[in-house]
Structure 1
Amino acid sequence: MNKKQTIMLWRIIVASILMVALDYVIPVTGTPQIILYLICYLIIGYDILRKAVLGIFNGKIFDENFLMAVATVGAMALGEYSEGVAVMLFYQIGELFQSYAVGKSRKNIAALMDIRPDYANVEKNGKLEQVDPDEVTVGTIIVVQPGEKVPIDGVITEGTSSLNTSALTGESLPREAGVGDEVISGCINLSGLLKIKTTKEFGESTVSKILDLVENSSMKKSKSEDFITRFAKYYTPIICAAALILAIVPPVVRMFALGIEPMWIDWITRALTFLVISCPCALVISIPLSFFGGIGGASKRGILIKGSNYLEALAETKYVVFDKTGTLTKGVFEVTDIKPIKISKDLLLESAAYAESYSNHPISKSLKTAYGKELDSARVSDVEEIGGYGVIAKVDGKEVAAGNAKLMKKLKLSYKEPDKVGTVVHVAIDGKYAGYILIADVIKENSKMAIKELKKLGVKKTIMLTGDAKKVADSVGKELGIDEVRSELLPADKVTQVEDLLEKKGQKEKLAFVGDGINDAPVLSRADLGIAMGGLGSDAAIEAADIVLMDDDPSKISLAMRISRKTLGIVRQNIVLAIGVKIVVLALGAIGIANMWFAIFADVGVMIIAVLNATRALIVKKNSY
């Protein structure tokens, strides 16, 4: 508990002891009794009275503080001292529960906020000096020691280490990093000392952008929150007017129309009870708290949602459109198959890697990466690069030709065509065909599961939009089980395709576009919901999308949808509970059956139940709805 909550707890304890003593232990009556009850009342309720008075002077009369003040002061004026103190006491207990629940939900955001670095180490005159990250300019060499946070985005110039990225991605597996690797702010250096050359100012770094979008997520309200705001605006004045009518009209009718005892005290008590029952605290507090909890729970799993309106839209998503490269695939070309003829796989790959060793083409890089050993340039000579065909070079004195089918035809060699989709590097050694190596953009491990999970959640259609060739796109779509594939598209064509899909969907159905955020910004903005692969810090992703998946895992989309549906389920439960109980108890209060104790349950009891229910939104299990 914080200091404020601790003080409130002590006020509750003192007021409770004094009230019990006055009711059952201290034998006082008359003025001393009234004074002691007033002391007890002021101990527990002085802040509510103060807020009510300030609200009147500030033009914000009709809020829960006003309702509580009128109801309890009225009860005290009518001599119902115990009930007046009890209503205020239980209301404050409810407020304490609410404060604790909000604090608990904020801890998830606070855990994310803990990635904010306090300082950056800059080497000056041979010594490390801690400076404010805001003061570090682009191009500065900063030092990050083991156990410290990386304060600013940059590139490692010296050292190797393992980085804990769990605060950003939700995943606990460390990431290895060395010289030349990009690192982003918010990661924790686990082992070796690193020297990093900053590539951004602190205000533009990943950690700043993430914290900014999380802190501002509450600004974008959902339809449910907007409804409650409008509801409370009209509901409270209507209830106050109804209570006033209940206090005045029945006694007047009894006295003048029926000629019987007006029973003013009885009807005023009913009106005050009516006010206590009507307080909309459960709705006003629990619904924003539910959305806050859902957003906080999602952030723990590396899913950053920019507002509760986007969290709500996820539950209504029926069409999910995917980009291919960098979204469903890794966006990095890798050797996926090696088919040698009369030689070993290792020799085929080694020959191709050496032949391509002087080229900077992405295919050449893929071959060298797959070979995985240091290349000895002395083994290679007479390199001839033939544009549009490939490379011919001597490796250990043997002529090696590595390239496409056109190169094999040029050399008048028969070759074998692969049965899989990808870029083919045919290899010939000393004029004889030696086999081929297949290079392809590898599908992410969780992409197939992501599509399967979305269909389980009731997504009507999954669509893939890509600029790749039809053969490649159809192969990926078929392997992943995507419903429709549209290929060979330019970035502008993707916007047109999404607009076409938006026109065809139902009015209440939502369409989400999932892209890598770098070249898909126009489409992310055009869709009902833009979901971006964060790429561990892609500026375009964080800026353009409504939701950012910080670890590039497409299976997190279904998890986000489950969080959304669970949160909305909790919101609906709280709305039904709060309004249902209030309608019943208001009716009972109006006819005199429900007394102040019923009123306390209808207000404080329902609020506590609703708030406790709202905290369930914080609990995120990977496979639960």
Structure 2
Amino acid sequence: MNYGRKNIMAEAVLVKNEFKTKYILRGLACTSCAAKIEKAVQELPYVVEAELNFAVSTIIIKGSERTKNMDKELQFIANKIENGVKVEKEGKRTLRQENNTSKKERAKDNTDITKKSNYQYRFWSGVGIFVLALIFLQVPILTNGLSRFTFYLKYLLFGSSYLLIGSPVLIAAFKNIKRGQVFDENFLMSIATLGAFAIQEFPEGVAVMLFYMVGEMFQEKAVDRSRRSIKDLMDIRPDYANLKWGEETIKVAPEDVQTGDIIVIKPGERVPLDGKVLKGSSLVDTSALTGESVPRRVKSGEEILSGMINKVGLLTVKVNKEYNQSTVAQILDLVENATAKKAAIEKFITKFSRYYTPVVVYSALAIAILPPLFLTGASFSDWVYRSLIFLVVSCPCALVVSIPLGFFGGIGRASRQGILVKGGNYLEALNDVKQIVFDKTGTLTKGEFVVSKIKPYNGHSKDELLTKAAYAESHSTHPIAKSIIEACEYKIDNNKIEDYQEFSGRGIKAVIDGQEVLVGNNKLMDQEQIDYQEVTEEATEATIVYIAIDNVYAGYITIADHLKDDSLKAIKALKQAGIREITMFTGDRENVARKIAKRLGLDNYYAELLPAQKVEKVEELLKKQDKKDKLIFVGDGINDAPVLARSDIGVAMGGLGSDAAIEAADVVLMTDEPSKLVTAINTAHKTRQIIWQNIIFALGIKGIVLIMGALGIATMWEAVFADAGVALLAVLNAMRISRNP
């Protein structure tokens, strides 16, 4: 990560004194102001990184050392850039504090509503006066005998309507100039409209301000709607938990519940914390987490995750994770921070707008001054009028607002489909994917292993072979180990197990009842120099587990796994989506991998890989591809963290409730369906398509009107459309992404 000039200093201190703090920016309504606040905070000497999330009005600050004055410095920056923004540090709150905060927010909302209603009254009064002035002063019969006073009437009527309509813009421009924030849309609109009054173009001056304010109102509604779409995703946040306290049940904040506590979940309530069902059965709605509309049944002994909604039965649950480690907290953190990680095109537009507006302002100044000085017969008022058109058109709102909205919508759309994208940068990168590497077990196959055959040798029985293997595998969490343990009819006595040793990618060595037992693949047998009979004829689609007892080959067990119903459909759809090469990695034997790769129609596969070898293979594939192309690795997010991190885009399959999945991956598919990856890529394509439509449309219209204005062809009315009209159309186009798929 590049921290600019503070990189060396920060990295030296970060390990010891690193801090990370989140602040809420209440009242933040301006996207360009948000970018300025983020930039100003990043320039503070103790700040390593600042990520401002306009969608949820938060800023996360990572720093090298804490300072008591940080809150005040942030508030000072906010006041300087957008007055009225209240900076508040996020922290743990009790249920009472949450209720008090809600009351304060409702009171503030009521105040804001009053202010808005007052301005709306002034706005519509100004519109009425403007319409009256147009009718009264443009109809000759109504102004007969008033020629001496017509000029003053124009000033009075148009001036009063202008002030009533444009007062927020004028006040904001004046305050921003005092703060040193000159080149923004308020300044441009103020100069352009006051200039129109100066050359006595009264109707056009008022009309520019009127349509600008109408455009701003529509943009504000669009931004609010986009924010609501993000916040709707965050409605999975539980409000309370019913904590069982002796014979009573008390309502507490989820943050106050500890691991091991017992909670009660009533029908219709949201599950507040992850846990295990002790009593009761019910149907739970998982749509907020997975995007799946079909309810899932849970019963005693099963796991239940926070964010689900209990539909019918009363559930008693033992909590196994505190709130900040729960599924819902991790997902909320991911969704909240997703829009803060900007795509390259977002960063470019932000930087472009900083240079674009001043260039156009100085160009407008040159247009107003130079032609009258050097061109014979050039009218000063005519060229000032052209320069005013330049100023009106120059506002970059269409891009600054619509592009972030596009990425908000794309991330929100993916979330509703059960796909969590960690940032706009990853959503953008999905457009350039040409290679996809799938891990086999749990990704393309179900990962539900079943013992299909037991073949003993050298006088051992099937029962003995399975029991020894189950004891050896009892400490392993691998799916194959679990299938062997489940097949064993005897309860495992851990006291019989000694000298347990696990060899990554090979198997296990353990001493059981005084006998040394080896359980693993052919690599383990070769490593321990066991004279074994290698199995080939039965390994078509089964995993072979060899067993040796006291260095003597005892037999083998076959473990069957099956393809997911969704896998074949997903591979076909990915090829249709333009993916050039699809590869499979597996630790299984060559013939098992070959059979599955053939059935799925994969382009390539690599078998008998250790975890470290998967990383090496990914690095080889990355070296072969073009620089602009991206490689996805899709794994289960638990055992594949290194290779997930090494690939261009790491995708965790079936990451629901998996800490490792959410931590290591860039994209998390919340269900076990490989076809969700196709959905993610299609959403990325749609997002990019709409964003580029906005860029081409906005810059194209603005460029044409700028040229027309400089040549004296365009009027202020075309300029208004090129600014407010184009911005509104771009915002409406961006909102198409967030519509229900």
> Could you state the TM-score of these two structures normalised by the residue count of structure 2?
0.70
The separation in 1 between residues aligned to 2:406 and 2:127, in whole angstroms, is 30
2: distance between equivalents of 1:108 and 1:57? 36
1:97 aligns with 2:218: yes
Deviations 1:425-483 (A, max 9, x none): 9xxxxxxxxxx997522222211111111110111101111112222222222222211
- Where do 1:63-78 residues align within 5 Å? 63-78=184-199
Q: Is 1:18 paired with 2:163?
A: no
- Equivalent of 1:172 in 293, 301, 310: 293
Q: Check conservation: 1:214, 1:306, Cα contact below 8 A.
A: yes
Provide structure 1 residue ranges, at least 5 long, that are not aligned to the other structure: 339-350, 378-387, 389-414, 426-435
Q: CA deviation at 1:9?
A: 5.8
Q: Distance in 1 between matches of 2:442 and 2:205?
A: 64
Q: How far apart, CA to CA, are the structure 2 residues paired with 1:586 and 1:575?
A: 16
Q: How does 1:163-312 map to 2 (within 5 A)?
A: 163-254=284-375, 258=376, 260=377, 262-312=378-428
Alignment coverage as a number of residue pairs: 558
Query: Deviations along 1:119-176, whole A, 9 cap, x unmatched?
Result: 0101224222110111111111111111101111111111111111100110101111
SS in 2 for 1:618: coil
The 3 A distance-change label for structure 1 pair 620 and 563 is farther
How do residues 434-449 of structure 1 correspond to structure 2 at under 5 angstroms? Answer: 439-449=559-569
Amino acid at match of 1:571: I
Q: CA deviation at 1:114?
A: 0.6
Q: CA 1:545–1:367 in structure 2 vs 1: closer, same or farther (change >3 Å)? A: closer
Structure 1 residues 506 and 10: CA distance shift in structure 2, 3 A: farther
> How far 1:291 moved relative to its partner?
1.1
Per the alignment, residue 528 of structure 1 pairs with 648
Residue 6 of structure 1: how far off its partner (Å): 6.7
For each residue in 1:519-578, what CA deviation from the matched residue of structure 2 results, as whole angstroms up to 9, or x when unmatched?
A: 111111111111112431111111111111111221011111111111111111111111
Partner of 2:273: 152
* TM-superposition CA deviations, 1:500-522 (whole Å, max 9, x none): 11100011101111111111111
Stretches of structure 2 that go unaligned for 5 or more consecutive residues are 1-108, 144-149, 455-461, 474-478, 492-507, 509-534, 546-555
1:491 aligned residue: 611
SS of 2:205's equivalent in the other structure is: helix
Report Cα offsets for 1:344-391 as digits up to 9, x if no partner. xxxxxxx99xx98x97877897699899xxx999xxxxxxxxxx9xxx
Structure 2 residue 158 is matched with structure 1 residue 37 = yes
Q: Is the 8 A contact 1:108 1:300 kept in 2?
A: no
Matched AA of 1:328: L
8 A contact 1:156–1:182 mirrored in 2: yes
The more displaced of 6-15 and 104-113 is: 6-15
> CA separation in 1, counterparts of 2:122 and 2:673?
49
User: What is the aligned counterpart of 1:85 among 194, 206, 218?
Assistant: 206
8 Å CA contact 1:19, 1:37 repeated in 2: yes
Provide the C-alpha distance between the structure 1 equivalents of 2:437 and 2:536, rounded to a whole number of angstroms. Answer: 36
With over 3 angstroms needed to count, the CA separation of the structure-2 counterparts of 1:568 and 1:249, relative to structure 1, is same
CA distance in 2 between counterparts of 1:18 and 1:178 reads 68
For residues 63 and 100 of structure 1, the distance between their equivalents in structure 2, rounded to whole angstroms, comes to 21
Q: Is the 8 A contact 2:419 2:667 kept in 1?
A: yes
CA distance in structure 1 between the partners assigned to 2:266 and 2:394 by the alignment: 58
Q: 1:239 to 1:24 in 2, by over 3 A?
A: same
How far, CA to CA, are the matches of 1:158 and 1:63 in structure 2? 61
Q: Structure 1 365/289 Cα, relative in aligned 2: closer, same or farther at 3 Å?
A: closer
After TM superposition, give the deviation of residue 419 of structure 1 in Å.
8.1
Give the direction of change, closer, same or farther, for the CA distance of 1:25–1:492 in structure 2 (3 Å limit): same
Among the aligned pairs, what percent are the same residue? 52
User: Once the 2 structures are TM-superposed, how far is the Cα of residue 193 of structure 1 from its aligned partner?
Assistant: 0.9
The match for 2:581 is 461
* Corresponding residue of 1:343: none
> Could you tell me which residue of structure 2 aligns to residue 474 of structure 1?
594
Q: Is the 8 A contact 1:8 1:96 kept in 2?
A: no
CA distance in structure 1 between the aligned counterparts of 2:373 and 2:193, rounded to whole angstroms? 24
CA contact (8 A) 2:183 2:358 kept: yes
**Separation of aligned partners in 2, 1:363 and 1:446:** 22
Three-state SS of the structure 2 residue aligned to 1:92 is: helix
Structure number with greater CO (CA < 8 Å, separation at least 6) is 1
**3-state SS in 2 of match to 1:195:** strand
Decide whether aligned partners of structure 1 residues 416 and 325 sit closer, same or farther in structure 2, where only a CA change above 3 A counts.
closer
- Determine the C-alpha separation between the residues in 2 that align with 1:147 and 1:234: 53
TM-aligned CA deviation for residue 247 of structure 1: 0.6
Secondary structure, in 3 states, of the residue corresponding to 2:679?
Answer: helix
User: How far apart, in 1, do the equivalents of 2:232 and 2:204 lie?
Assistant: 42
Residue deviations 1:216-253, cap 9 Å, x none?
A: 11221111111111110111110000000011011111
CA contact (8 A) 1:150 1:184 kept: yes
In the aligned structure 2, how far is the partner of 1:527 from the partner of 1:418?
34
Q: Distance in 1 between matches of 2:584 and 2:338?
A: 29
Conserved 8 A contact 1:461-1:483: yes
Closer, same or farther in 2 for the Cα pair 1:616/1:6, shift >3 Å? farther
| Alpha-carbon distance, 1:280 to partner | 1.4
Query: 1-side partners of 2:453 and 2:164: how far apart?
Result: 77
SS at match of 2:181: coil
Q: CA deviation at 1:102?
A: 2.2
Deviations 1:63-106 (A, max 9, x none): 22221111112112322222111111111211222222222233
Are the structure 2 counterparts of residues 54 and 544 from structure 1 closer, same or farther at C-alpha, using a change threshold of 3 Å?
A: farther
Q: Secondary structure at the match of 2:441?
A: coil
Residue identity opposite 1:115 in structure 2: I
Residues 605 and 5 of structure 1: is their aligned pair in 2 closer, same or farther, counting only changes over 3 Å?
farther
Amino acid corresponding to residue 608 of structure 1 in structure 2: L
Q: Is the 8 A contact 1:566 1:617 kept in 2?
A: yes
After TM superposition, give the deviation of residue 57 of structure 1 in Å: 2.7
Instruction: Report the TM-score when normalising by structure 1.
Output: 0.82
Q: Distance in 2 between matches of 1:7 and 1:228?
A: 35
C-alpha distance in 2, partners of 1:440/1:477?
16
1:528-567, aligned counterparts within 5 Å? 528-567=648-687
